Amino acid sequence: MSVAQSVAKREHSDDLQHSNKRQQTGITAAELEGGLPVVAHLVSLIPGKECTYSIGDKELTTVGRSRSCDITLNEPDISTVHCELHLITMEVDGCRRKLINVIDKSRNGTYINGSRVVKKDSILKNGDRLVFGKSFSFLFKYNTTSDLEGAGESAASATGGNLAVIQSPNANKNDEEVFKKPLFSFTSSQNALKKQARQKPASVFDKYVLGKELGAGHYAIVKDGTNKQTGQAVAIKIFHPQQNDDQKKSKQFREETNILMRIHHPNIVNLLDSYVEPISKSQIQKYLVLEKIVDGELFDRIVKKTSLRQDETKAIFTQILTGLKYLHNQNIIHRDIKPENILLNITRRTSPEQVQLGPWDEGEIDIQVKIADFGLAKFTGEMQFTNTLCGTPSYVAPEVLTKTGYTSKVDMWSAGVILYVCLCGFPPFSEQLGPPSLKEQILQAKFAFYTPYWDNIDDSILHLISHLLVLDAEKRYSVDEVFDHPWLSGGAAQNNVIKDMNRLQLSDTQMPKTYTELSCL
Ligand SMILES: Nc1ncnc2c1ncn2[C@@H]1O[C@H](COP(=O)(O)OP(=O)(O)OP(=O)(O)O)[C@@H](O)[C@H]1O
């Protein structure tokens, strides 16, 4: 047997005991077997057949019925050569990682976590359940020291460059210009970060258990997650697979998520962690671990209620503004404010004595509003982002559509659209209201308040919306100007200062449909 072959040896219970004894001396089993380091282990999950196979640091490890295979599984449903385990080295997220790539060669199939390996290649991750044929079931685990190289370097580079999320006054469509100069000082924490990166599990699956789907968007699905150590419930955003061909982008993702993890505000969904995982030789998948928000989207609340009362809208809008003010003060532009990205945590009444803390519905004590997806739109790539927006741009400011350079005022436009939608249940710009087209309506800031929807709504709100849906971003209200507006700052008397806003009569055939009506179609 060659040195290489001897590495992927079966360690029976007896051998294991022996090897454990040897490991106590600080020497790994693989070093003793053939001088090659162990890269990973396959732990048998078959009751009564407990054993561990070590996969060594060599290009190919074969699994099959043949005695010439590195791992021999002598069962009728196992093919002569059932599958190949290829050792590959991939540069992922600034780290060179040694990974095991499975190529199925069998008749009865190789399965990873219940899915048959059909692709040309599939990279294994810690905790994967690997099944050969009908019943040969194993738990896969990387040897902790072997799969990650250079994590410390990554952290160092993540703290060294242009880290913070400052939007320059002239920020424009170019990605790099949205994320500019450092706002936070990292120097004191550089060593801590390096240490953290070194200690950080290489895979999201090492730290979290993934559960059911919570929601889906254009770029990602979001799943329930649980921190294995603390039991903390989280939401895990899983971006669609991407080609692993742009190391600069991966580095940018890491640097920017490092910054966004330092953003903490009660009205912003907390970013807790981020991971980049290889899934095949050429593809990676990015993961964001987020604070979990349990009561769904503002969008669903609007659909359920057709429209929101003025006092309820004010309470929700104030929280959105508070979150935006914090982001804008940190020089972060959200760029994708819409009711689907406004999430709600509702405190429900549990006893009759509880005092309601806002203008909420019967049975609701309080609602905490959380802005999701902040600063993240750019991770999807500028082109993809704006192209997707062109499909559904109801909330997008004109300068985003024309890509003529934008500032935090783009969020104020979107806030104006949200305010409008909350109160009447349909957006101010839509194909339904055309002609002109939706895009033209936005580019001309052409909107109106339609009767009867807006008849009983205070003129001061119409006035505020009219100062948010303004074509010229410089004249559009900023967060502070909105807080100073009579509808938010003053009482009823001040509201009366603003009078006689126009409502427009439309024929029945032109009348826009509410989200509630559209959702019933
Ligand atoms: N932190 C969270 N807690 C609970 N649910 C969440 C969380 N983040 C997102 N979701 C749910 O998942 C859905 C999709 O998430 P998200 O909007 O971030 O994906 P996306 O692909 O970026 O979407 P978009 O198409 O809007 O850009 C959300 O609309 C929401 O219902």
Residue nearest to atom 12 of ligand 1 (CA): 215
Residue nearest to atom 24 of ligand 1 (CA): 217
341 close to ligand 1 (CB < 6 Angstrom): yes
- DSSP lists the bridge partners of residue 111 as 116, 131
pLDDT at residue 485 greater than cutoff 80: yes
Are 337 and 369 a contacting pair, CB within 8 Å? no
Nearest-angstrom CA–CA distance, 515 and 307? 9
Question: Rg of the Cα trace of the chain?
Answer: 28
480 belongs to the catalytic site: no
Low-confidence winner among 84-98, 207-221, 400-414 (lowest mean pLDDT)? 84-98
**Distance, first Cα to last Cα, the chain:** 69
- Give pLDDT, residue 245: 74
Residue nearest to atom 9 of ligand 1 (CA): 222
**Count of other CB atoms within 10 angstroms of residue 512:** 18
Q: Which percentage of the chain shows pLDDT scores above 90?
A: 46
State pLDDT tens for residues 341-382: 999 999 999 998 899 999 999 999 999 999 998 655 444 444
Closest ligand 1 atom to residue 222 Cα is 12
- DSSP lists the bridge partners of residue 342 as 371
Nearest-angstrom CA–CA distance, 72 and 174? 55
User: In which order are the strands placed within the sheet that holds 38-44?
Assistant: 10-12, 51-56, 38-44, 136-142, 129-132, 110-112, 115-116
- Give pLDDT, residue 482: 97
Closest ligand 1 atom to residue 370 Cα is 1
Whole-number average pLDDT of the chain: 79
Here the tokens at position 271 are 């970013």
Q: Is 46 exposed, middle or buried (0-12, 13-18, 19+ CB in 10 A)?
A: exposed
Are 87 and 39 a contacting pair, CB within 8 Å? yes
Mutation to probe ligand 1, out of 212, 214, 226, 260 (largest number of atoms < 8 A from CB): 214
Binding residues for ATP: 237
Question: pLDDT grade, residue 22 (50/70/90)?
Answer: very low
pLDDT at residue 15 greater than cutoff 70: no
33 close to ligand 1 (CB < 6 Angstrom): no
State pLDDT tens for residues 243-285: 877 777 777 777 778 878 888 999 999 999 999 888 888 888 9
Report how far ligand 1's centroid is from the alpha carbon of 104 (Å): 35
User: What is the set of domains in the chain, with CATH numbers?
Assistant: 22-142 (2.60.200.20), 207-292 (3.30.200.20), 298-519 (1.10.510.10)
Write the CB contacts of 232 (distance below 8 Å, at least 6 apart in sequence). 226
φ, ψ at 158 (rounded to 5°): -70, -20
State pLDDT tens for residues 157-200: 332 222 223 233 333 333 333 333 323 333 344 454 445 444 55
- Give pLDDT, residue 475: 97
Residue nearest to atom 18 of ligand 1 (CA): 373
Nearest-angstrom CA–CA distance, 301 and 219? 23
Report how far ligand 1's centroid is from the alpha carbon of 341 (Å): 7
How far is CA 124 from its chain centroid?
22
Closest ligand 1 atom to residue 292 Cα is 3
Q: Which percentage of the chain shows pLDDT scores above 70?
A: 76
Of 463, 467, 491, give the one whose Cα is nearest residue 480: 467
Taking the alpha carbons of 475, 479, 483, 484 in that order, is the dihedral positive or negative?
A: negative
Closest ligand 1 atom to residue 373 Cα is 18
Closest ligand 1 atom to residue 372 Cα is 8
What is the pTM (predicted TM-score) of this model?
0.74
State pLDDT tens for residues 444-470: 999 999 999 999 999 999 999 999 999
Amino acid code (one letter) for 464: L
Nearest-angstrom CA–CA distance, 182 and 162? 6
Question: pLDDT grade, residue 392 (50/70/90)?
Answer: low
290 close to ligand 1 (CB < 6 Angstrom): yes
Residue nearest to atom 20 of ligand 1 (CA): 217
State pLDDT tens for residues 299-358: 999 999 999 999 999 999 999 999 999 999 988 888 889 999 999 999 999 998 899 999
Cis, bond preceding 47 (omega within 30 deg of 0): no
* Chain length of the chain: 521
Amino acid code (one letter) for 353: E
Nearest-angstrom CA–CA distance, 328 and 444? 26
Residue nearest to atom 17 of ligand 1 (CA): 217
- Give pLDDT, residue 335: 85
Write the CB contacts of 52 (distance below 8 Å, at least 6 apart in sequence). 11, 16, 41, 42, 43, 44
27 close to ligand 1 (CB < 6 Angstrom): no
- Give pLDDT, residue 253: 79
DSSP label of 268: B
State pLDDT tens for residues 89-127: 887 766 778 899 999 999 999 999 888 987 667 899 888
Averaged over 424-436, what is the pLDDT? 91
- Give pLDDT, residue 404: 81
pLDDT at residue 500 greater than cutoff 90: no
**Helix, strand, or coil here: 368?**
strand
Report how far ligand 1's centroid is from the alpha carbon of 217 (Å): 6
Q: Which of 147, 273, 336, 373 is catalytic?
A: 336
DSSP-assigned states of every residue in 403-416: TS---THHHHHHHH
Question: pLDDT grade, residue 48 (50/70/90)?
Answer: confident
Crossing angle (nearest 10°) for helices 409-424 and 310-329:
170
pLDDT at residue 82 greater than cutoff 90: yes
State pLDDT tens for residues 128-154: 999 999 878 999 998 875 444 443 333
Taking the alpha carbons of 257, 260, 264, 265 in that order, is the dihedral positive or negative?
A: negative
Nearest-angstrom CA–CA distance, 337 and 471? 17
